[in-house]
Amino acid sequence: MGRRSILVAAGWVATAAVATLIGLGAIRLVGESLTGTPGGVRSAAEIERALASPEPVPTGTTGAGSVGPGTTSPAPGASSGVRRGFATDGGTAVAECGADGVRLVSWAPAQGYRVRDVDRGPDDDVEVTFQGSAREYELKVRCIGSEPVAVDDD
């Protein structure tokens, strides 16, 4: 092996090492978003505490009160009451009882489902219908006392 071959091999190894170091430095600069879980992995106790704490209520309203897909902010002047979450195979919803009756605070379809119809209230009862390719789920909620309760459709 000649001197030129040794220099070419050494140059190739040095270039590969520098490129590897630059790549590792770039990944470290970008942070955990490429190499790990953003915010770290949470313990079961941390998840339970987060789920037990009350949801923050958006303060501003835009347009027809929509904050994002499937969520709504309280109507101006509406009083907040008891909130409760409900789940079906077709999706989930959160309802709240207040002075004006029951209203849907938020709703989200499960994977493979879409929201076909929503009556968000406030009213005596509210409902959301989740439609899938093979099945449809209708969730109807009323206030019993001051607590939202899922009821059978009449």
Can you spell out the DSSP letters for 63-104? TTTEEETTEEPPPTTPPP--EEEEEETTEEEEEEEETTEEEE
Residues 6+ apart with CB under 8 A from 64: none
Same domain, 11 and 82: no
CA 120 to chain centre: 19
Counted domains in the chain: 2
Residue 53 pLDDT: 64
Q: Report the pLDDT value the prediction gives residue 152, as an integer from 0 to 100.
A: 84
Residue 59 lies in a domain: no
Check residue 20 and report its DSSP letter. H
Beta bridge partners of 143: 148
Sign of CA pseudo-dihedral 89, 101, 125, 104 = negative
* Nearest Cα to Cα of residue 86 among 65, 106, 67: 106
**Tens-of-pLDDT digits for all 154 residues of the chain?**
688 889 899 999 999 999 998 888 777 766 555 545 555 567 777 777 777 666 554 433 333 333 334 444 444 444 557 899 999 999 999 999 998 999 999 999 999 999 999 999 999 999 999 999 999 999 999 999 889 999 987 6
Residues 43 and 83 in one domain: no
49 shares a domain with 16: yes
* Domain span including residue 25: 1-53
> Token pair of 68, please?
């994002």
